[in-house]
Structure 1
Amino acid sequence: MGGAFLAAAVLARLGNRIGLPTIPLFILAGILLGPNTPGLVLVADPHDLEMLSLLGLVLLLFYLGLEFHMDDLKTGGRKMALAGGAYLALNVGAGLGFGFALGWGTAEALVLAGVLGISSSAIVTKVLVDLGRLGNPETRPILGIIVVEDIFLALYLAALQPVISGADSMAAAVGDAGKAFGFLLLLAAAARWGTKLIGRLIATRDNELLVISFLGAAVLVAGVSEWFGVADAIGAFMVGLMLGSTSSGARIRELVHPLRDAFGAIFFFAFGLSIAPGDLPTVLWPVLAAVAVTLLMNVLAGIVVARLYRFGPRPAANIATSLLARGEFALILATMAATAGLDERLSPFIAGYVLILAVLGPLAAGRANWLARVLPGRAARPARAPAEAEPVGVGQGA
């Protein structure tokens, strides 16, 4: 276990020196030091890290819920909803079409729609911070799109779970979906109207008791969510949504940060352990085709969103490249697909796709001016939006 942490840390430090994000490097550490590559094997059986890996996933989504607020969707107004809807329509639609074109199956196509369609909040926010773009006018729609993606993801996973789990009949699938949505609505109602009560129950001045309380709540609700057919990660997200609005929310965000970083690294490392590099060449051409589709759809989305906000080519290029990276959500879908026994090619496909875009995304964002030179339109002053001038505070470092 110590070797796994240290190996991930060493590779991440090396990557930071050349401007690479940590997520693909954690995965690479798992690939290099796992049972599927020659040389030193730190963890022979990926299942040895299964529980810690799941805890990392729960904490990643719990933290994202802490950073998300119900008012964020209202703050952005109509334009934010239109921008997020346009981005999802282009990317999820293209992903679904690509999945059916591969011919791997309907459930697999639905998984690929989410994999190709949803950006990595972790990498996107890190790119914006590292490049000093938080004050740019186009950053607001970028963060707004992430908000819409997060809402879509919660609903998408709730609908996808009964489909990929292989319900015996249409009636069973509808029943499973109804049960999942019912539980999701219950959690949403608790987040909307139960914040004061939950805040009183969890409030304490003792940091030790607060950590034990929020960690227990997140893991318990994640487990109960699975019983109801809702992905455990979404259950944790909803707990974060509830606790983030309480009087203890700021302290919880501070206290969970190191836990999220440590166990999140193990989640990505453990995913790398399950990847056999020898399988990657079998999906090389589909991966490259998927990367090309994602590049094209992001450029189109950047142009559409820029025109909606009356931005010029440079902001359009920044939008297109900033949202390019795929990461933690794609790996969540890969984990769900593997658990459901879907096509075994999905795991190496998603691994290769995430690795390429997690590296390519930040590099492309830093060179967005190259793309801006070939985009149509002229530089224009951004449209004023006096009623919508507040920034959208979403998932910083999530």
Structure 2
Amino acid sequence: MSTPTGISLKRQPLIVQKYGGATLADPEKIKQVAQRICSLHTSGAKVVVIVSAMGKTTNQLIDLAKQVSPRPLLREMDMLLSVGERMSMSLLSMALNDLGCTAISFTGSQAGILTDDSHVNANILEVKAFRVEEALEQDKVVILAGFQGVSPKTKEITTLGRGGSDISAVAIADYLKADRCEILKDVDSVYTADPKLVLNARSIPQMNYRHLLEMTQWGAKVLHQRSVDLAAQKQVILFVGAANTDTSNDTESTGTLITHEFAFERKHLLAINSYQRVFEIQLDTFSLVDFQKYLQFHQVGQIQILHQQNSTVWITAPEETLSSLQDFMSSGSHPARITQSELSSVSTTFTQSVTDSDLHETAAILKGAAIPVIQSTVSDLSLHFIVPAEKRSQAIQALHSLI
């Protein structure tokens, strides 16, 4: 765009950033994040920041609740868990204002994150972030509490489930039509495997939504699966990078850019993903749907179905849900049984559709490493294996040798 005098006017870029709990774990880290945000704002960008709870705050709040009540009301859990992100947003806003960078913090409800009335795993219905827009017009940095919203039907505070701050960030980025949504963590990109388990894991500089969605479905922890799905639907450009790296200059920053357009020119093995804990469950008198409703009724938590073979299912869930499930199933008589609990899943994700030769090659690698496969299934882009938990790390490293 240019003025009548021919002088070019460049639109201010609008960047949404989301900072994970590990990057905000203590006051010093919060100050470092504040300096980075202030630098980005000073360079001319409009900035909206979504924060997670500090460090292990959410786990600590869950443990605290269990000490008071073995099965707390879900409404009260949302009231409790939403506190973690409020702490982060307030402290970060304080740090920014001390740097001379005018900032304001909002809770999810203040920011207009409207959800359904489900507690602890709500879905966003609509965003009406009018106050956020007003603050941006006043050249303020806006800090939002992730993971939470409000139900317009019940007027109750809700939370979006584990990793919900990613969903908050994408939803806000879509509403504001941000130039991109940056997910900033304690790792600097999406990798071909967990770099803590595979020392020679490689950074993936660019990929598309479809591949990242496949990876998150089978255990990659880089983003919440629902956030990737939402980004794909709304065409929100994502960037995954380290919180301690400057991303204001695209040509110099490391990280992974996720868009709709990018496609790999040839087929190859893209990444190895894994769930650390998997349960094998025998459904004695239940259908799978009835079993899920049964757990929901007893407030055990949301589970993810990995595989099903007749009346046997293999499931995973966040650690606290698996612990609750184990405690629940071991008390009294239930129409389902945990038959194995020391299992893991390992998956290989390809850039194009899986073939028989892919299955034979990966199966041969696992057999050569003496790793027993309890169950295997195939999806369009991935192969999935259930293995003994003590063989998980070995299986990941063996399969990564194919990349």
TM-score calculated relative to the size of structure 1: 0.26
Pick 1 or 2: higher relative contact order, CA cutoff 8 A, min separation 6: 1
Bigger fraction of residues in strand: 2
Bigger fraction of residues in helix: 1
Q: Looking at CA atoms only, which structure, 1 or 2, has the larger radius of gyration?
A: 2
TM-score calculated relative to the size of structure 2: 0.26
